Amino acid sequence: MFTAIEAAFAGTGWPLIAAAYCAVGIIVSRPRGSFGARFMGIMGWPIELAQKLAGHGPLPYLFLLPNLLVFGIYTFAPFFINIGFSATEGQSILFSERDWAGTANWARLFSDIHPDTAGRNLEVAKFYRSVMDTAVFVVFQVPIMVFFALLTALVLNRKIVGRGFWRSVFFYPVMLSPVVVGFLWTLILKRQGVLSLTLIEWGWIDEPIQWLTDPAWTMFWSVFVYTWAHLGFYMLILLAGLQAIPKDLYEAAQMDGTSDWRMLWRITLPLLMPTLLVVTVLSLIKAFQAFEELYAMQVGWISIVSYIFETSGLRGQPTAHGLGIAATASLAIAVFLALLSLGQIALSGRRNWQ
């Protein structure tokens, strides 16, 4: 390992740079105390120097700077680049090689008449189909997710045998890669998969069923697998909310002879409502962004993210206006999700104000 490191830095003069860094650290920090304290003082001399020069006021912003850089590079910069793609056209990703399009991409995505051919715009039907399929998925998946996450959190918040083990079991799918989840369920749900062969052996069906592409089953299994994969995350949030409710309220209610159902409706759910609101909005946003598991399973419907992925040319042959149309579609969905988040903030603020 050290040989590889030495080869990587060969010819860079890194020993001299490291020695100079340590020398400056000794001069600036003047380390005292144990060996560990002295070492940390020498290594962290830029922070100490900044603190001496500027005081304690700017120091928190210095620690926030790496996070801001990450957000700027991987969140804000791509967002503004996406806006640029939506206002230009062409196959290249370089703005110098793209022509100004103005609102043409919006017309290509939402107008019934294609702005380039003056004929029927087939892209609109494809986009609306993906939006409708995603809407159906969200309408069924989000309530099911929230209901079972709440039910699981309520059960695992009680004193049951092996409570820590069951919490780990329900949270385990969250730690799996979405692609792994998709391939795992593909082995179960494909035409010659475990489920079809088992049902045939039991005599429940006569021939194998392609559960992931059959129109009668593809949405059901999409909702089931996606809920299975993400249930533990929302369960953990609700579990934290349940544990934040003061125990004194339950003890007082028990002394008054209140039933468990009444405590659930009068104490638990009202006090858990802010957490439930956060979970609902997060699950809504996540459901609209569903892609990895569905893509790996190759389900028989197309989500809005899959539409953007394919239209942009990331899979298949790029088209003349595909990247601009995909950027425009992603901006439209981003605006919708931003409105959802603002609604959640407004509702939370109103509840806190009351």
pLDDT digits (tens, 9 = 90+) for 112-169: 887 777 778 888 888 999 999 999 999 999 999 999 999 999 999 988 888 889 999 9
Nearest of 337, 217, 228, 226 to residue 290 by alpha carbon: 226
CA distance 143 to 164: 26
> What per-residue confidence (pLDDT) applies to 130?
92
Q: What is the DSSP letter of 302?
A: -
CATH code for position 136 = 1.10.3720.10
Burial (CB < 10 A; 0-12, 13-18, 19+), residue 69, is exposed
CA distance 161 to 169: 14
Residue 338 included in any domain: no
Residue 315 has pLDDT above 80, yes or no: no
Residue 73 included in any domain: no
Residue 103 included in any domain: no
As a whole-number percent, the residues of the chain with pLDDT over 90 amount to 27
pLDDT digits (tens, 9 = 90+) for 326-347: 999 999 988 888 888 787 777 7
Residue 328 included in any domain: no
> What per-residue confidence (pLDDT) applies to 115?
77
pTM for the model stands at: 0.79
- Report the SS3 class of residue 301: coil
Predicted confidence band of residue 238 (pLDDT cuts 50, 70, 90): very high
Q: Could you give the number of structural domains in the chain?
A: 1
Cα R_g (the chain), whole angstroms: 28
> What per-residue confidence (pLDDT) applies to 74?
87
Residue 71 included in any domain: no
Residue 67 included in any domain: no
Q: Which residues constitute the domain of residue 152? A: 125-311
Residue 45 included in any domain: no
Residue 74 included in any domain: no
